[in-house]
Each structure stands twice: as structure tokens, then as C-alpha cells.
Structure 1
């Protein structure tokens, strides 16, 4: 074969021992083109498939997105409806809450106003009471100040022996004057020996009088109260005991007179505390006074003794008036006897009156029975004939002149007449 007949056999290149011809190159190129075409077709097919798949996925995604969008729109519509309902409910609740708050605020305002009014009224009342109490406290303070002034005056009075004696004398006189009637006592009376006791109580039935002395020594007692040390208190107690013993002896010597005064006299102590102190700490003085027939009395004991004397005087007056009372009782019994006789006469009169009333009642009963019989009248002649035949022999009939009226009289039995 010639080169013109087979151009594809023409060598083009040589690689070592191998000769590369045009046909081989063309075949290699054709094969490469085929492979490239196949690869391109495969790539295009794969790309078309991928695009179709992507389009399908995009369509699916678009459908899903549309469905989700629809769901979102539906959910949004539902949410908007719910939000509207919630807004309406919120508005309604807000209106109710506002109304409730307004009502509560109004009620609270009313209660607060009422409470403020009550508190104001209570405050005014408390202030008024406080003012009254302050006025009472001011009055009490004034009274305390006045009492303090009186205490100062009393201290001034008790600081002097004469004024102190006048104070005890005034208390004793007040107790005696309140408990005994006028004429049953005498102040500053003079006895046969020339002494003048503070009070002389006159006893009944011409018995001797009772002497009361009110000159109690208080200097030593004040010294006891003013003592600061044991030694001073001991000396003051000894002076007090000595003064009391001297006073007891003076009362016994001056006021106990045979046949003129009682054999017992009262020594008046114008203070209950001093009386209690004497009986508690100075028992020997009490025994000495008892042996001297001197009775130490406090204001309360003197008041009790005066009441006993008053009872004795009253009993004596009752005994003096006993014969008068007996005469009055006799006359009273005579009056009672006359009253009894008159009551008995009145009782007999009442019995006779009761018998007369019973007789009158019997007579009125008979009259009523006869009136009932008179009411039974007959007005026919036939009845008269029938009555004449039927009447018993003991009945009498009275006829009228016209012959129309007939009165039938029935005599009562003898027992009824006797009744």
C-alpha cells in the first residue's frame, strides 16, 4: 500500500522503538473525545439529575415553606384571636379590677373617715376626761397644799404646851359632845378640893361622876421621835416614862375623890399611834395606871366608852319612867277591853243583819215563785170549764167580769208556808 492510499499509516512521531502514526493519534483523539463526551454527557446528566433533584427539593421545600407559612399565618390568626380575647379579657379584668379597687378605696376611705371621726371623738372625750382629771388633780393639789398648811399649823400648835393641851381638850370635847346629851357632862367643872378636871361625866341615880383628863404630856414623846442614837432614845424613853408616871399620880391625887367622883378616871391620849406605842413598848406604865385605877384611852376607846355611858343613861331614864310606862299600859289595856266589847256588839249586830238578809231572801224567793204562777193565765171559756173539772179541791179560781180572764191560785203546802 502506498502512502496516498493509507494516510493514517503515516508515521508522525517515534518514541523509542514505537512509531506513532496518524491513525493511532486520531484513534486516540477519537477515543479521548468519546471518553470526554461520555464524561460530559454523564456530567450533564448528573447535573440535570442534580438540578431536577434540587428543583424537586426546592419544590418540596417551597411546598413545605408554603404549608409552614400557612400554618404560621393560621397560628398568627389564632394568636391574633387569642390576643384579642386576651386583650378583651384583660380589659374586662382591668375594668373589674379598677371598679373593685375604686370600691375598696371608697370603702377604705369611708372606714378611714369613720375611724378618723371616731378617733377624733375619742380623742376629744379623752382630752375632756384628761382636763377633768387635771382639774381634779389641781383641786387635790390645792387640797394637799391646804392640808400641808394645816399640818404646818398643827405642828405650830403642837409645838407649844398650852396649844397642845387645847388640841387634846378640843378632841375630847368633840367626842363627848357628840355622844352624850346636854346636861350629862360638864367641862372644866370645879371639884370640892378646888381642882378642875377637863371633863366631868354625870352618872345616873345620884352616883359619883366620871373624870376625864386630856392633859397628856407630849414633850418626851416628841423627844423619842426626834432621837437619832440609841442613847438619846433611851434617855427620851426614861423621860417619857417619868412624865407619864407623874401625870398618873396627879390624876389619882386630884380627881379621885371618895363619894364625889368615880374610883376610876380616864386619861385621854389624843393619838391612836401614841396609844399603841404605850401599850406595845411601855407595858409597865399601863400596869401602873391600872393599879392607880387610871384607864388610858385613845379617841376610839373614849368614843366607845361614851357610847356605853349613853346606854347607861338611857337605861336609867327608862327605869325612871317605868311607872309612867306601866300607867300607860294599864290605860292601853282598858282601851283594848272597850274595843273588844264594841267589836263583840258589832259582831252581834252583823249576825242579826245576816239573819234579816236571809229572811229577806226567803221572802223574795216566794215572791218570785208567785210571780211565775201569775204568768200562767188562761183566756178561753172551754179551758175554764175544763179547769173547773180538773182543778183539785184545794185550788181557788178568780174570774173576770167579762168571762175571758181567769186567774188560778194554787195554795202552797204547809211546809212551804212554814219555810
Structure 2
């Protein structure tokens, strides 16, 4: 214990020139502790008051919250009622709109169904037309295949040209004015001969046109192949023209010219455009190259010539009929003149009858005057024109009957 004061008096800390002992430090520490305890008490009291104030504020806020909650519940109830009413109105409006929309949809669906049915009906009709057209196209394709087969075969191709030529000739000329596959005096048999009028020589028509070289021209690829095919085509035509000129041009039996029938207008135009030398050679050989249209025109000209020749042959018959017609006209003129004379005599007879009836009327008037005196005479004078008119009407009716009788007698 005796060391405690000594210990407290010993220096514990030096701050510059000042020295702080342990005792001072203990005092400072006690003072600091007291200050700290005072601060703690003050803080505790202050926190206690703050907690009391916070509790009061919390209670006030809680009451405000409860009041606001009550108001909110009232407002929520009003809003619930309002929402319920609005929901009922909305449900009713939606129901009405749905009903109207359902009706419109039903009407639209019915109209759409009707339109779809009509469209399907029209589509079926068009499909039927398309089926018919397709059948026609298939038939036409078959015919084209047959035509291709015909044109690919030389014999059938000749028969094709022969049939076209025969159809044109048979349609344009009367039966007996032509003959197919007739035999000439030199033994050759042309495809057709047309008999000319007045004993003139017959016209020869050949339909065996060579188309192999022409098909080769169309199938050729390249200028060299086309040139070779053109040369072959020219050579075949020249040979055919020479054969027609040597076989079918017979003096006194056939005409000086013969027809070489080309069964295609395109081939005919190609010959005249690109093979003009062949046309000149045919003219020199007295062979005329004709297409179907030119052959038809030539046949029509020959038909007109034959018709004119028949009219010339029948000219004497027509002249005889005209003479007999003139005789009938003269006889009719004579009978008309006789009838005119009868009418003149009848008119003169009617005039004489009218004179006699006039005299009778006047005499009857005089007789009535003599019997009835002056008064009766005046009445008769006033009635005289009526009697005269009646007499004239009777005379006119008799004249008409006489004229009718005269006409019937003449007839």
C-alpha cells in the first residue's frame, strides 16, 4: 500500500515539457469515465424519449392506416359494385354483339357456301369444257401422228396428195367431166384427166409430187447439209417435170400443158421464192405447178367453160322456146284486141238501153200527169229525178252484169 502513492506520483507520459503522472492519468480516466457515463445516461434517456415519441407516432400512424384501410375497403366495395354493374353491362353488350356477329357469320357462311357452290358448278362446267378440249387435242394429236406417218411413207404420201387433188376436182366439176387413173394411148396412167368441151383434148393433172428431198431440207442442220438437200430437191423436181412432159403431153389426145399438183401451200411458195429456175424449167416443159388454191381456181374456170359450152349446145333449144313464147304473146295480143272490141260493142249497147229506158221513163211520167191532173203533174215533176236516178242505177247494174258475162264468155 505504501508503494501506491509512489507509483501514482511517478511520471507516465511526457508531452513536450509537461509530464503526466499515473495519478493524473487515473484522474483523467475517472473523469472521462464519468463523462462517458453521463453521456450514456443522456443518450439512454434521449433514446427512451425517442422511443416513446416513435411509439406515439406509430400508434397515430397505425390509426391513420386503419382509417385509410377502412376508407379503402369502402372504396373497394363501391368499386366492386361498379365493376359488377359494368361487367354485367359488358357481358350483355358482348352477348348482343356475339349474337349479331353469329347471325352475320351465319349469313356470310350461307352466302359463301352458295357462292362456293356456284363457283364449283362453273368450275365443273369449265373442267368439262377443258376435258372436251383435251379430248379434241388428243384426237388432233392422233391425227397429226397419222399425218406424220402418212408423210413419212412414200406410198401413203402419194395417196395423201392424190386424195386432196381428187377432193378438189370432185367438188368443182360435174360427174363425167373428169376421170381418175385413166389410161392414155401410150399406156401411161395420170392421176386425173379433165375432159374439155367441144371435143378438145383432155387436161392432165399429176399429184405424185416428191417430198423426200423437201423433208430433207427441213431436217437439215447446217448450211452444207441444207445445200445438199436443196440440190437433191431441185434434181427430183426436174426429173418429175421431165416425166410429166414425156408421158402425159400427147398431141391430139391431151392439152399442150399439164398440171403438177403440189399438196402444200408452203412447199409451193418455197418453190417460187427459192427455186425460181424450177418454175422457168416447168414453163419451158409446158408443165404448170399448182397449189391446192390454184388448182381450185383452175377447176372453177374449167367449170365456167363447161357451163358456157353446155349453154351453147342448148342455144337452139333456147331459141325454139323463145319462138314459141313469141307466138303465145301474139295470140294473147289478138285475144286482148278481140276483148276490147267486145267491150266497145257492150258499151254501145248499154247506151242504146239507156236511151230506151229514158224514153220509157218520160212516157210513164206523161201518163201519170194525164191521170192525176195538174197537182199530180207537179208531184210527178218533183219525183221525176228520183225515178231517173233509180232507172240509171238499174241500167248500171245491168251493164255490170253484161260486162261480167262478156268476160266469162271470153275466158
> TM-score band (shorter)?
0.5 to 0.7
By how many angstroms is 1:222 displaced? 0.5
Q: 1:235 aligns with which of 222, 228, 235?
A: 228
Question: Size of the alignment, in residue pairs?
Answer: 288
Measure the CA separation in 1 of the matches of 2:285 and 2:107.
83
Match of 1:29 in 2: none
Equivalent of residue 246 in structure 1, options 239, 244, 259:
239
Q: For residues 227 and 113 of structure 1, do their structure 2 counterparts lie closer, same or farther at Cα, with a shift above 3 Å needed?
A: same
- The Cα offsets for residues 58-86 of structure 1, whole Å up to 9 and x where unpaired, read as xxxxxxxxxxxxxxxxxxxxxxxxxxxxx
Aligned to 1:200: 193
State the match for 1:266 in structure 2.
Answer: 259
Equivalent residue, structure 2, for 1:398: 371
CA offsets 1:308-334 (integer angstroms, 9 cap, x no match): 000000000101111111111101110
Written as runs of structure 1 = structure 2, the 5 A alignment for 1:204-223 is 204-223=197-216
Partners of 1:366 and 1:253 in 2: how far apart? 105
The Cα of 1:153 is off from its aligned counterpart by 1.2
Deviation, 1:228, is 1.1
TM-score norm. by structure 2 comes to 0.61
Name the counterpart of 1:147: 140
For 2:136 and 2:149, locate their aligned partners in 1 and report how far apart those are by CA, in whole Å.
19
User: Aligned partners of 1:156 and 1:297: how far apart in 2?
Assistant: 24
In our comparison, the structure showing a higher alpha carbon Rg is 1
- Counterpart of 1:132 in structure 2 is 125
Note the alpha carbon deviations across 1:71-119, whole angstroms, 9 max, x for none.
xxxxxxxxxxxxxxxxxxxxxxxxxxx9xx99xx8xxx89x969975x7
Once residues 332 and 250 of structure 2 are traced to their aligned partners in structure 1, the CA distance between those partners, rounded to angstroms, is 57
Is 1:176 matched up with 2:176? no
What secondary structure, in the 3-state scheme, does the structure 1 residue paired with 2:370 have?
A: strand
- 1:22 matched residue in structure 2: none
* CA deviation after TM superposition for structure 1 residue 343, in Å: 2.0
CA-atom RMSD, angstroms? Answer: 3.9
5+ long unaligned stretches in structure 2: 1-92, 393-411
Deviation for aligned residue 1:345: 2.2
> What displacement does 1:250 show?
0.4
Instruction: State the alpha-carbon separation in 1 of the partners of residues 121 and 107 from structure 2.
Output: 22
Shift of 1:229: 1.1
Following superposition, the deviation at residue 128 of structure 1 comes to: 3.9
- The secondary structure found in structure 2 opposite 1:398 is helix
Query: Aligned equivalents of 2:175 and 2:237: distance in 1?
Result: 32
TM-score, with length taken from structure 1? 0.60
Mapped to 2, the partners of 1:161 and 1:357 lie a distance apart of: 95
**Local SS of the residue matching 1:181:** coil
Q: 1:358 to 1:116 in 2, by over 3 A?
A: farther
Structure 2 residue aligned with 1:317, among 310, 326, 330?
310
- 1:223 Cα deviation (Å)? 0.3
Cα distance change of structure 1 residues 325 and 397 upon mapping to structure 2, 3 Å threshold? same
Q: Which residue matches 2:179?
A: 186
Q: Report what 1:290 is aligned to.
A: 283
User: Matched residues in 2 for 1:232 and 1:124: separation?
Assistant: 61
Q: State the shift of 1:253 in Å.
A: 0.4
Q: Distance in 1 between matches of 2:140 and 2:360?
A: 95
Instruction: Measure the CA separation in 2 of the matches of 1:209 and 1:314.
Output: 16
- Partners of 2:164 and 2:258 lie apart in 1 by 17
DSSP 3-state at the match of 1:212: strand
Where does the alignment leave 5 or more consecutive residues of structure 1 unmatched?
1-97, 378-395
Residue 327 of structure 2 corresponds to residue 334 of structure 1: yes
Q: Distance in 2 between matches of 1:280 and 1:370?
A: 109
Question: Displacement, 1:352?
Answer: 4.0
Judged with a 3 Å threshold, the aligned counterparts in structure 2 of structure 1 residues 336 and 155 are, in CA distance, closer, same or farther, namely same
Change (3 A) 1:349 1:116: farther
Question: Any idea what SS the aligned residue of 1:200 has?
Answer: strand
Q: Distance in 1 between matches of 2:351 and 2:141?
A: 89
- Which string of whole-angstrom CA distances, capped at 9 and with x for unpartnered residues, describes residues 273-300 of structure 1? 1111111111111111111111111111
Q: Secondary structure at the match of 2:283?
A: helix
Q: Secondary structure at the match of 1:196?
A: coil
Aligned equivalent of 2:217: 224
Closer/same/farther in 2, CA of residues 333 and 221 from structure 1, 3 Å limit: same
SS, match of residue 222 in structure 1: helix
